[in-house]
Structure formats: structure tokens, C-alpha cells
């Protein structure tokens, strides 16, 4: 992959910069011939990944209702990921009066807020939409060989909220504390401790997990219940967080959209705070730490408040204690999930899935330029979406989003994918800059 892209992309982007400064891009960017152009290199290659999440949300009206709102987790600008765009698809049946991206209560979380028109009792509607994000992958090759386990007073103050004991992460429970201290015994290396916690969380009492999976008899996904009988990804995430926190290591639940070969409800992972390094993404469900960002879209960073306000699963009625990823502000509207068709994407029922649509290895200087442009364009899209633009301003907005979609299509399929992507994102930025309100 390096041989395919590294030799051309630097030259292509220099050519594009010069071309864009002299004349506008025409509606169809022509193939660019490359001849001996050179770009100063950082000497460091990085991988960029285009991730595409697809979402179906079905919901039923149990009574006649007036307009209401559905708030659905939106990929934040977080860590190594930058959101690009949300696309509402034509087979959406809901009467969407408006939708916009909003900051949620806690940073960096965001939601897309759909305002839905009235529904009659017995009606069923759906929202079908796509997210795209661009990820600068991180393989954690810069992890040190050994990291000391810090004392509480050595932790950054902004991380200590994730030491709390909560309803589903019972870090102060005696049984959990005993297990946590046992794992730490004769060990001063935080990386070794993290690996012990993650492996244990997946594999302990694994037969109980298989029985629950085949019978559908999942119960609460809190940490203590999961310690007793194992659990699904929410339970393993809560247990993993509890074992870290009981050892005075901040840890938090992450809601994610990974690239499985089947659709699903939602996936739960964790991050733990590595002293003098930062947050480390971890796949406790499969016993892997660290875990690369390119393998999932991050949808939400959970706070202790989320852990104290959990819900019941939509498929397993006895599975309680899971963090929410969307919220409906009318009690007479119920989300619809079909347990028999959850893993079949073209069948009715709420579900999600994700695809890694492109991987490109390029110089880090070019990657940072592309990410910065993507971030700037998205900020404009986010700002103007839902403002009720009219006339020429609406035309400029529609032109800009069309260029963003064309950039995504080119990045997925073109031979000179990154250059085309960059060019169309420049055009999108120009259209947004024309909006005058």
C-alpha cells in the first residue's frame, strides 16, 4: 500500500495547491498528470482511513402524537477521528421537519437532533442515515515498554471523575476490589496490569456467557453481575472499568460502531488512562488492548452520569444497565427492533453497521493538511445545518454538501483519490464562505 500511494500523493497535492490558487476547479476535476513534482517530506508515514457508518432507526407511535424529537449520538471530533458529513437517505419515511448537530451535555459528545412531525397511533416510521469520518490511525507503537501505576494525586484532575463508583461500575464493591487487588499483586507495571484486566474480563466464566448467548437469558450488565456470570459487551466494559478504577486508574465506557460482518444494536468498549501517555482504546469484549482507531467509529464517551442513567436492552428484555445512544422525548414513541432480523440488514428493524471504505498510507504532513481541511469544512457544515437557510444561502449550502459527497465518492474509488478529495473539499469550503447571514 505504501508503494502505491506515497510516490504520487505528495506531488498531487502540491499540484492541486498551485492549481486552486490560480483558477477554480471545474465541475468535473480532470485527471492530473504528474511530472517530477516534489514535496518536502516529514519522513513519517501515517494511515488515513475513511469510515462509513450506516444507521436504521425504526419507531412506532403508541398513541396519536404531535411533533417530537429524537436525539441520536453523532461521531464527535475526538482523538484520531474527524467527522465529515451526515447524509439522510431517500428511503426515510419519517416526516423530518428539521435536523441539526448539537453539542451534548459533556464534551466531546454530540448528537444529531431530528424534529419529527406528528404521527398517528399504530404508525411506524424510519430514519435511514449515513455518517462518514476520517481517521488518522494510531497503532500504539509509541507505547513505552513499562509505565508505573500512578498514585491518585498524580493523575490529571480532568481524569479523576472516571474513578467514581456508579450504579453499573461498582468500583467500591468488596468483591470487585478483591479481584482488582489480586490482579495488581506483585506488579508495578500498568501495561501488564491492563493486559491482565482485559484478558480476565473476556475469559472468566466464559461458559456462562455462551449459555446466556444461546438462551437469550442475559441479565443486568453491571460490573458485579458480570463478575459473577460474565456478560455481553456492555457488561464486560463495566467490569473492565470497575477493575481499573478499583486500582485507581481512570477508565470509561465508549460507545462505538465497529466493522463487523453483520449489523447490530450498538457496541461497547473502554478507554483507560495511561499515566504520562493518555487514553488507550481497549476492546474488552474480545480481550485486546490497545485497539486501533481505524476499526470503529467512536459515537460517545460515557460519563458517570451515563452510568447512573442506564436503560434496558431492546432485544433482551432482562438485559438492564446499558448506556443509551439515542433519546426520544415522547413516551408514546417506542423504538422498534426485530430480534429475528437484527443481523439481516435489508429486513425491517433498527440496526447499525460500519465499513472501512478506504485506507491510504501517506506522509504525515499531507495527512495533517487533509485532516485540518476536513475539520474546517465540517465545522461550517455543522454550523449552517438546521439554520433554516433560504434563497442563495441555501443554494450555496446545497452546493457545498454536494462537493463534500463528491469528495467522499472520489476518496472511495479514484486512482488519485486523496487529491480529488482535497480539491472537492476546497470547493465545499468556498461555497460555505459565500453564505451571508
The verdict on 12 and 91 lying in the same domain is no
In this prediction, residues 309-320 reach a mean pLDDT of 97
From 267, 291, 315, give the residue that closes a domain.
291
The verdict on 102 and 79 lying in the same domain is yes
CB atoms within 10 A of CB 420: 23
Higher pLDDT: 43 or 71? It is: 71
Q: Report the helix count and the strand count for the chain, using DSSP H and E.
A: 10, 13
Q: Which is it for strands 267-274 and 96-103: parallel, antiparallel or unpaired? A: unpaired
For 287-302, write each residue's pLDDT tens digit.
Answer: 999 999 999 999 999 9
**CA dihedral sign of residues 150, 152, 153, 159:** positive
Q: What is the CATH number for 170?
A: 3.10.620.30
From 237, 264, 291, give the residue that closes a domain.
291
From 247, 266, 291, give the residue that closes a domain.
291
The reply to whether 112 falls in a domain is yes
Radius of gyration of the chain (CA): 23
Residue 171: predicted pLDDT: 98
* Contact in structure between 246 and 162 (CB atoms under 8 Å): no
The reply to whether 20 falls in a domain is yes
- Identify the band that residue 417 occupies on the pLDDT scale cut at 50, 70 and 90: confident
Which of 382, 374, 362, 381 is CA-nearest to residue 422?
374
Q: What is the CATH number for 92?
A: 2.60.40.2250
The reply to whether 58 falls in a domain is yes
pLDDT at 89 over 80: yes
In this prediction, residues 40-62 reach a mean pLDDT of 91
* Contact in structure between 354 and 51 (CB atoms under 8 Å): yes
Residue 27: predicted pLDDT: 36
The reply to whether 259 falls in a domain is yes
CB atoms within 10 A of CB 285: 22
- Identify the band that residue 6 occupies on the pLDDT scale cut at 50, 70 and 90: very low
Number of domains in the chain: 3
Q: At what angle do helices 190-203 and 174-184 cross, to 10 degrees?
A: 130
The reply to whether 21 falls in a domain is yes
With cell 464562505, the residue in question is 433
Which of 416, 412, 409, 413 is CA-nearest to residue 428?
409
The verdict on 286 and 185 lying in the same domain is yes
* Contact in structure between 356 and 258 (CB atoms under 8 Å): no
What is the C-alpha to C-alpha distance for residues 134 and 136, in angstroms, rounded to an integer?
7
Q: What is the largest CA-CA distance in the chain?
A: 69
Beta-bridged to residue 268, according to DSSP, are: 255
The verdict on 350 and 404 lying in the same domain is no
The verdict on 256 and 343 lying in the same domain is no
The reply to whether 143 falls in a domain is no
Residue 41: predicted pLDDT: 65
- Identify the band that residue 413 occupies on the pLDDT scale cut at 50, 70 and 90: confident
Weakest-pLDDT range from 88-92, 197-201, 260-264:
260-264
User: In b/e form, how buried is each residue of 135-173, taking b as 16+ CB within 10 angstroms?
Assistant: bbbbeeeeeeeebebbeeeebeeebeebbbbbebbbbeb
In this prediction, residues 12-36 reach a mean pLDDT of 38
The verdict on 168 and 269 lying in the same domain is yes
The verdict on 183 and 259 lying in the same domain is yes
pLDDT at 9 over 90: no
DSSP characters over 95-111 = -EEEEEEEE-SSTT-EE
Residue 415: predicted pLDDT: 62
Structural domain harbouring 72: 49-138+326-355
What is the C-alpha to C-alpha distance for residues 43 and 231, in angstroms, rounded to an integer?
45
For 163-215, write each residue's pLDDT tens digit.
Answer: 999 999 999 999 999 999 999 998 999 999 999 999 999 999 999 999 999 99
For 321-335, write each residue's pLDDT tens digit.
Answer: 999 999 999 999 999
- Mean pLDDT, the chain, rounded, equals 91
Residue 11: predicted pLDDT: 42
Residue 114: predicted pLDDT: 98
CA atoms within 13 A on the CB side of 48: 26
In this prediction, residues 236-259 reach a mean pLDDT of 97
Q: Which is it for strands 326-328 and 296-301: parallel, antiparallel or unpaired? A: unpaired
Continuous segment of H or E residues that includes residue 297: strand 296-301
Weakest-pLDDT range from 12-26, 317-331, 366-380:
12-26
Enter the pTM of the model.
0.91
Distances (CA, A) of 58 to 97, 259, 338: 17, 22, 10
The reply to whether 317 falls in a domain is no
- Identify the band that residue 341 occupies on the pLDDT scale cut at 50, 70 and 90: confident
The reply to whether 321 falls in a domain is no
The verdict on 110 and 184 lying in the same domain is no
The verdict on 240 and 284 lying in the same domain is yes
The verdict on 286 and 192 lying in the same domain is yes
CB atoms within 10 A of CB 210: 11
The verdict on 243 and 330 lying in the same domain is no
The verdict on 242 and 334 lying in the same domain is no
Amino acid at each position: 500500500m505504501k508503494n502505491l500511494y506515497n510516490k504520487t500523493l505528495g506531488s498531487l497535492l502540491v499540484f492541486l495547491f498551485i492549481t486552486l490558487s490560480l483558477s477554480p476547479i471545474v465541475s468535473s476535476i480532470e485527471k492530473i498528470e504528474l511530472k517530477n513534482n516534489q514535496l518536502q517530506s516529514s519522513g513519517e508515514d501515517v494511515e488515513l482511513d475513511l469510515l462509513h457508518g450506516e444507521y436504521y432507526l425504526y419507531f412506532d407511535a403508541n398513541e396519536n402524537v404531535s411533533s417530537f424529537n429524537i436525539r441520536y449520538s453523532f461521531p464527535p471530533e475526538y482523538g484520531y477521528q474527524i467527522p465529515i458529513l451526515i447524509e439522510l437517505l431517500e428511503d426515510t419515511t419519517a416526516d423530518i421537519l428539521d435536523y441539526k448537530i448539537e453539542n451534548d451535555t459533556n464534551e466531546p459528545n454530540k448528537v444529531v437532533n431530528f424534529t419529527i412531525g406528528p404521527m398517528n397511533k399504530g404508525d411506524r416510521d424510519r430514519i435511514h442515515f449515513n455518517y462518514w469520518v476520517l481517521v488518522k490511525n494510531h497503532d500504539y507503537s509509541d507505547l513505552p515498554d513499562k509505565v508505573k501505576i500512578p498514585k491518585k494525586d498524580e493523575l490529571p484532575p480532568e481524569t479523576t471523575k472516571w474513578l467514581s463508583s456508579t450504579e453499573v461500575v461498582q468500583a467500591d464493591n468488596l468483591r470487585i476490589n478483591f479481584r482488582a487487588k489480586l490482579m495488581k499483586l506483585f506488579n508495578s507495571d500498568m501495561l501488564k496490569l491492563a493486559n491482565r484486566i482485559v484478558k480476565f474480563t473476556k475469559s472468566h466464566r466464559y461458559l456462562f456467557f455462551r449459555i446466556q448467548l444461546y438462551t437469550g437469558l442475559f441479565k443486568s450488565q453491571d460490573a458485579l453481575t458480570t463478575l459473577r456470570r460474565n456478560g455481553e459487551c456492555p457488561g464486560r466494559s463495566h467490569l473492565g472499568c470497575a477493575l481499573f478504577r478499583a486500582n485507581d486508574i481512570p477508565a470509561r465506557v465508549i460507545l462505538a460502531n465497529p466493522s463487523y460482518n453483520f449489523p447490530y444494536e450498538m457496541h461497547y468498549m473502554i478507554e483507560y488512562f495511561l499515566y504520562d501517555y493518555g487514553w488507550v482504546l481497549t476492546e474488552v469484549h474480545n480481550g485486546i488492548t490497545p485497539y486501533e482507531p481505524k476499526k470503529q467509529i467512536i459515537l460517545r464517551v460515557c460519563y458517570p452520569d451515563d452510568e447512573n442513567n442506564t436503560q434496558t436492552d431492546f432485544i433482551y428484555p432482562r438485559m438492564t444497565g446499558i448506556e443509551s445512544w439515542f433519546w426520544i422525548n415522547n413516551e408514546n414513541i417506542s423504538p422498534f427492533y426485530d430480534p429475528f432480523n437484527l443481523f439481516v440488514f435489508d429486513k425491517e428493524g433498527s440496526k447499525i453497521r460500519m465499513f472501512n471504505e478506504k485506507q491510504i498510507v501517506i506522509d504525515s504532513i499531507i495527512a495533517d493538511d487533509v485532516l485540518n481541511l476536513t475539520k474546517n469544512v465540517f465545522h461550517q457544515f455543522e454550523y449552517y445545518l438546521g439554520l433554516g437557510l433560504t434563497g442563495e444561502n441555501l443554494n450555496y449550502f446545497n452546493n457545498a454538501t454536494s462537493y463534500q459527497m463528491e469528495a467522499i465518492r472520489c476518496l472511495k474509488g479514484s486512482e488519485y483519490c486523496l487529491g480529488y478529495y482535497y480539491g472537492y473539499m476546497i470547493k465545499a469550503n468556498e461555497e460555505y464562505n459565500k453564505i451571508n447571514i
